[in-house]
Amino acid sequence: MLHALASLVAPVMMERLTLVVNHVLAGETVAMQRLAAHRGRRLEVELGGWPSLLPPPPRLAFTVTPAGLLEWCGQGEPALGTAPDLQVRVDASNPALLAARVMVGDVPTVEIHGDGALAADVHWLLDNVRWDVAADLERFFGPRIAQEIARAGSALAAALRRALHTGADLAARLRPGGTGRSAP
């Protein structure tokens, strides 16, 4: 039942995710210009190590539009013999940790394969483009409330970052051969 529900929700989530990514890209003229040079090219994101207990993620394939934005390719399988111009592989063996890291602004470790020029521009995007959440909040709530929400969000992100680092340090210590005591 969970898999059936996921197959109904996935297209809607992907459409919304694409809108958010395009919103972030549209905030950076240079980002759109860099992508526009690759119009018509297709890139796919592979979530490597996805846990089999979870419903499979939707197909993460996008085409670069002439405007330098992304268009989701949908759920269907690509035509035989059509490889993506660029494949980005993200370790998703722990989706909750991956999501938490992305939410606090950490860029996940990725492997990029394919066209060199497109890979260079996607790498540049990953390194340089960030969502200015505070500016978006200000448009909805005004500067005073947006500032307080942004401050609370920053405090939450900092706490999450500390928790992630503490958890990683603890896991390293508990691992056999770690710097601390080994688990029995």
CATH code of the domain made up of 2-130: 3.30.1050
The CA distance from 160 to 105, in Å, is 11
What are the DSSP calls for 151-177, one per residue?
HHHHHHHHHHHHHHHHHHHHHHHHSTT
What pLDDT, in 10s, does the model give residues 168-177?
666 667 767 6
Point out the least confidently predicted range of 35-44, 82-91, 131-140: 131-140
> What is the per-residue pLDDT for 10?
83
- How much is the average pLDDT of 6-26? 87
pLDDT confidence of 166, banded at 50, 70, 90?
confident
The CA distance from 109 to 49, in Å, is 13
What pLDDT, in 10s, does the model give residues 48-106?
999 888 888 888 999 999 999 999 998 776 655 678 999 999 998 888 888 777 766 67
Q: What is the pTM of this model?
A: 0.70
